[in-house]
């Protein structure tokens, strides 16, 4: 970023790359594409201080276009004063149990696809393990936000936002699942595709950007 010099370019997918995200420790990159896959990359530093991407660590197959991906944040992200709960609607979620992938940090991923499904993955090892598939949305999932260890928001092509809670082993591994906390449906958003969603740092405003060129701030408690 400082020099503006391109460090690396590599052919990762056969069709459009829709989104990228780094894992919490910054060591792995995840890409999702219209070719129906999400791929986990582990860049290797070469002798000339550049990065090399050979083959993906894992390829996560989907039955349709994959539009969005987020990695679980570090433990403690979004928490109040170092406590065990979060300052998010729907409660703080289950306390973390089990491994957190050692020094590698959290190992959970969430993907959203054209088949209206939200999928939770564990990438703690070289491969990937599908932990949960949720077919609750009625339209394709365009955007997801993972602002704290246990809270997830997903937004779709029909203008609906859903708030989820990660249950079980938050650090990864078998047993993790997704619990639907609430479905946010506003008349101002009806049938308006939501392109992106993010939680404001004060955790009281959900910021939405829609296909009809609007930016909206939604109160997470009152849902207005």
**What is residue 166's predicted lDDT score, i.e. its pLDDT?**
93
**What is residue 124's predicted lDDT score, i.e. its pLDDT?**
83
**What is residue 194's predicted lDDT score, i.e. its pLDDT?**
97
Q: Under 8 Å CB-to-CB from 74, ≥6 apart: which residues?
A: 24, 25, 105, 106, 149
Over the stretch 172-183, which tens digit does the pLDDT of each residue have? 556 789 999 999
Over the stretch 60-89, which tens digit does the pLDDT of each residue have? 999 999 999 999 998 876 654 333 334 455
On whether the CB atoms of residues 30 and 18 are closer than 8 A, the answer is no
pLDDT lower than 50: segments of the chain: 80-87, 90-103
**What is residue 77's predicted lDDT score, i.e. its pLDDT?**
66
pTM of the model: 0.83
């Amino acid at each position: 970023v400082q020099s503006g010099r391109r460090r690396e370019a590599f052919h990762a997918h056969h069709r459009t790359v829709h989104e990228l995200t780094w894992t919490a420790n910054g060591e792995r990159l995840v890409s999702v594409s219209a070719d129906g896959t999400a791929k986990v990359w582990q860049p290797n530093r070469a002798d000339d201080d550049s990065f090399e991407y050979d083959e993906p660590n894992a390829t996560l197959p989907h039955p349709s276009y994959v539009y969005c991906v987020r990695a679980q944040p570090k433990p403690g992200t979004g928490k109040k004063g170092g406590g065990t709960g979060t300052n998010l609607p729907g409660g703080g979620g289950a306390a973390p149990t089990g491994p957190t992938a050692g020094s590698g940090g959290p190992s959970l991923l969430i993907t959203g696809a054209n088949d209206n499904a939200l999928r939770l993955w564990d990438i703690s090892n070289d491969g990937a393990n599908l932990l949960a598939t949720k077919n609750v949305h009625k339209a394709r999932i365009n955007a997801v936000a993972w602002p704290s260890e246990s809270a997830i928001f997903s937004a779709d092509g029909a203008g609906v936002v859903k708030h989820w809670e990660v249950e079980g082993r938050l650090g990864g591994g078998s047993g993790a699942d997704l619990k639907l906390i609430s479905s946010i449906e506003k008349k101002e958003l009806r049938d308006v595709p939501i392109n992106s969603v993010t939680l404001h740092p004060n955790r009281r405003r959900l910021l939405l950007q829609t296909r009809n060129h609007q930016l909206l701030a939604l109160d997470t408690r009152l849902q207005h």
